[in-house]
Structure 1
Amino acid sequence: MTRDPLQTADSHTPVQPAVPGPLSGLRVIEMGSLLAGPFVGQLLGDFGATVIKVEPPGVGDPMRQWGRHKPQGKSLWFPVIARNKKSVTLDLRRTEGQALARELLMGADVLVENFRPSTLEKWGLGPEDLHALNPKLVVVRVSGYGQTGPYSGRAGFGSIGEAVGGLRALSGEPGQPPVRVGISIGDMLAGTLGALGAMMALFGRLKSGQGQVVDISLYEAVLTYMESMIPEYALAGQVRERTGSILPGIAPSNIYPALGDDGQPGEWVVIGANGENVFRRLVEEMGRPELATDSRYDSHEARGRNMGALDDLIAAWTSSLKAGEVVARLEAAGVPASKMYTAKDMLADPHFAARGNIVTLPHPQLGDFPMQGVVPRLSETPGSVRSLGPELGQHNAEIYGELLGRSAEHLAELRAAGVI
């Protein structure tokens, strides 16, 4: 795979890594907005693909307005999900815009889109139309319910996918309404599987020489992670319910109260000590070694049956100590435990620093801009964060002029007509 000529550093980009990412030379056209589709592009871009983000003229991707803002009115989310991308503006509802899109896609390896099914077809940009122009194109289609089936035409956001896929019903405390996990997990799962599907299709292309369609729905992405929920009901008549912070039948594995650094209540630690040897080490550190031979707690099954009482004993111990002390003592004893990390903890943690989990790039208005790094870690061709999310249409001249050969005068005409 040759290096894509469009892979050049922007004015705010750090020095490129010495080794190109494994997807260097791959050209991706991203027509998605908000989260699920753009997360596919983020993952591919992290590993070296040239990702050209197509946005509507004027306002661009709504993610430019989403997320928490600094006083300058800048989104703090868009620079993350649009990192390593180039932005062009294009009105896909117009004939001229569709013609430009076809030119872009003729030289592309992957198209990522998350419009409602049949939208691309309405614009003459459906997979059949595009494969007639570029048979090797991989088309990643992210939607609420998939491209087929009776629900395919329905609108769907990540929250709906989480509900239909089964996650929302299991999130929260028993007897209380279902809750949101805290992040847009349905979108992220769909984006991750969309990127995985793109890689599978590209690998298949090495053998067949042909592109194909990757059909990923939000609800199916969530459903994929639902463990044994389906056979539990179908074969054993068991309906999974909300269980809060515990693992049903597995103890001790829970969160426990602790003191903050100021000696006041309000902190929490998570402890996982359900293995026989680990449990023995826990109760010894608690000063209660007799619990390891107590008939109520001396086996996995017994601890599961007496989970509530056991958790009360552990909570009585942790609540008298600072969270940091609990974690330090259990770490020394070989018992898995942790504080509840926040962004503040992550930015100060030496392990995060050693692993490069937080990367910082310069933002033209906001200064140093920290964000999570690239996962997974590849030993020989690692991914990298090379640039923050671009300004709207920042690369129009580069893409339409240098790549497609449009003159400055023609670009000015397209801009004046609202096509770009």
Structure 2
Amino acid sequence: MTESGEPGGTAGVLAGVRVVELAMWAMGPSAGAVLADWGAAVVKIEHPETGDPMRGLNTFLPNGRNYMFEQVSRGKQSLAIDLRSPDGLEAVQRLITACDVVLTTMRPASLEAMGLDEKSVRKLNPSVVFASGTGYGSVGPEAGRGGFDLSSFWSRSGISATQTPPGQAFANPMPSRAFGDVLTGISAAGAIAAALYSRQRTGEGVKVEFSLFGTAVWAMSGAILDAVRDPSAAEQPPPAEASRATASPVTTSYRTSDDRYVVLVLLPADPHWPSLCEAVGRPDMITDPRYATNAERVRHKEECIAELEAVFARRTAAEWSERLSAMTGVWDIVQRPADLLRDAQVAAEGFVESLDDGEMTLVRSPVTFDERRPPLRRAPQIGEHSDEVLASVGYTDEEILDLRISGALL
């Protein structure tokens, strides 16, 4: 296991941190990818025949590259070894004795059966940070139950219900692959970094636990507290036009002539109202007594919204982008995912980057250190670093060959 997650490159803020990743699909691996972005050396443990099932997910580009696997496993080393083999398990245990973090999303019962649960791992490495991710959490009636993004994050938390119009034949699905997974993953990476800081101060290992469901409940905190305030409001999913019923005229969206939307978020409202009226060509609305103050606009919101709807329907989203650019309040255009590939701000921030001579495009984690963007590196081929990783913990060429002959190692 190499000391830096960026061989030959600039060391990141977690350079020298060594991570053993016992995780598959997207939630845990996305946390490992962020740690690798930040400079940690992350060794991904995979089965020598099947690898991470994420490799087989139907997200292939024409060039044969699996973009979702690349997104959540970039920058790592791959050790393809069979944990069911005593020799393979011993090899992983030796890795654990030399690592700083064990990152896993395997079910607790499976870990315990193999002797890789927290208690067993701490016998090998008392000061290790043990980070465990689950679908629903580690206590309660559903502790250890498996989960995926669509079930644990979107459905159980109420997010899907709030996004599903009445009468729709199916619950509104997630808007992006691995949406909840990657949000949970980056929060887990931050928690792991905090645990490493604690260990540096105290010398003691820390257990970090995270879940898809927990992240979703956190994301729904505003809606949950709305339900505390008015329990009856939470009994049914909101109607399709519920936002119009509760919206202020200046914190809502308006359709444009080309069927796009402008979103206004004028907070506080009164200081920005004159600027909006000038930008949309309706200076008369500044002093109109029905709209002159926020209180009056809310009192007459149906009329105010109707007038603004008529105004915004006259121009395209591009025209409104130009006209609103001088407005003092906050606004934006509702973009589609493909629009982000052409977004000048995305390009300036380097949020999306091509690598391998343009064969692969990946999205960065949204953090910089000292104004530097961590370099992106491709995901490993299955077993690509098996020899290198085992040699780093003392395996000889002969021992590695024996593991390969036995079928425990790819």
TM-score when normalising by structure 1: 0.86
Q: Secondary structure at the match of 1:118?
A: helix
1:358 paired to 2:352: yes
Alignment CA distance shift 1:128-1:237 (3 Å): same
Structure 1 residues 208-250: Cα deviation after superposition (integer angstroms, max 9, x where no partner):
2111211112111111122243443335435344466848433
Q: Secondary structure at the match of 1:239?
A: helix
The whole-number CA distance in structure 2 between the counterparts of 1:227 and 1:202 is 28
The whole-number CA distance in structure 2 between the counterparts of 1:156 and 1:182 is 18
1:120 maps to 111
The whole-number CA distance in structure 2 between the counterparts of 1:154 and 1:304 is 47
Which residue among 377, 386, 402 is the counterpart of 1:413?
A: 402
2:279–2:326: 8 Å Cα contact kept in structure 1?
A: no
1:21–1:48: 8 Å Cα contact kept in structure 2?
A: yes
The whole-number CA distance in structure 2 between the counterparts of 1:284 and 1:174 is 38
Deviates more, 1:344-353 or 1:43-52: 344-353
Which residue among 189, 213, 216 is the counterpart of 1:219?
A: 213
Unaligned runs of 5+ in 2: none
The residue type paired with residue 404 of structure 1 is V
Q: What's the CA shift for 1:6? A: 5.2
1:165 maps to 157
Deviates more, 1:287-296 or 1:39-48: 287-296
The whole-number CA distance in structure 2 between the counterparts of 1:197 and 1:25 is 18
Which residue among 144, 151, 163 is the counterpart of 2:142?
A: 151
Trace 1:20-419 onto structure 2 (pairs within 5 A): 20-162=11-153, 163-173=155-165, 176=168, 178-183=171-176, 184-240=178-234, 241-242=237-238, 246=243, 248-259=246-257, 265-273=258-266, 275-304=269-298, 306-362=300-356, 367-379=358-370, 382-401=372-391, 403-419=392-408
Deviates more, 1:66-75 or 1:304-313: 304-313
Alignment CA distance shift 1:233-1:335 (3 Å): closer
Alignment CA distance shift 1:143-1:269 (3 Å): same
% identical aligned pairs: 28
Higher helix share: 2
Deviates more, 1:274-283 or 1:109-118: 274-283
The whole-number CA distance in structure 2 between the counterparts of 1:296 and 1:92 is 71
The whole-number CA distance in structure 2 between the counterparts of 1:301 and 1:415 is 75
Alignment CA distance shift 1:415-1:294 (3 Å): farther
The whole-number CA distance in structure 2 between the counterparts of 1:231 and 1:321 is 38
The whole-number CA distance in structure 1 between the counterparts of 2:116 and 2:164 is 42
Alignment CA distance shift 1:346-1:304 (3 Å): same
Q: What's the CA shift for 1:251? A: 2.9
The residue type paired with residue 378 of structure 1 is F
Structure 1 residues 45-100: Cα deviation after superposition (integer angstroms, max 9, x where no partner):
11111111111112211221225322343211211211111111122233222211
Alignment CA distance shift 1:305-1:202 (3 Å): farther
2:285–2:292: 8 Å Cα contact kept in structure 1?
A: yes
The residue type paired with residue 266 of structure 2 is A
The residue type paired with residue 383 of structure 2 is G
RMSD of aligned C-alpha atoms? 2.6
Alignment CA distance shift 1:173-1:332 (3 Å): farther
2:20–2:102: 8 Å Cα contact kept in structure 1?
A: yes
1:12 maps to none
The whole-number CA distance in structure 2 between the counterparts of 1:234 and 1:349 is 39
TM-score when normalising by structure 2: 0.88
The residue type paired with residue 24 of structure 1 is A
Alignment CA distance shift 1:5-1:112 (3 Å): closer
Q: What's the CA shift for 1:317? A: 1.9
The whole-number CA distance in structure 2 between the counterparts of 1:297 and 1:255 is 18
Alignment CA distance shift 1:99-1:309 (3 Å): farther
2:70–2:362: 8 Å Cα contact kept in structure 1?
A: no
Alignment CA distance shift 1:218-1:304 (3 Å): farther
The whole-number CA distance in structure 1 between the counterparts of 2:171 and 2:266 is 27
Alignment CA distance shift 1:307-1:418 (3 Å): farther
Q: Secondary structure at the match of 1:288?
A: coil
2:6–2:12: 8 Å Cα contact kept in structure 1?
A: no
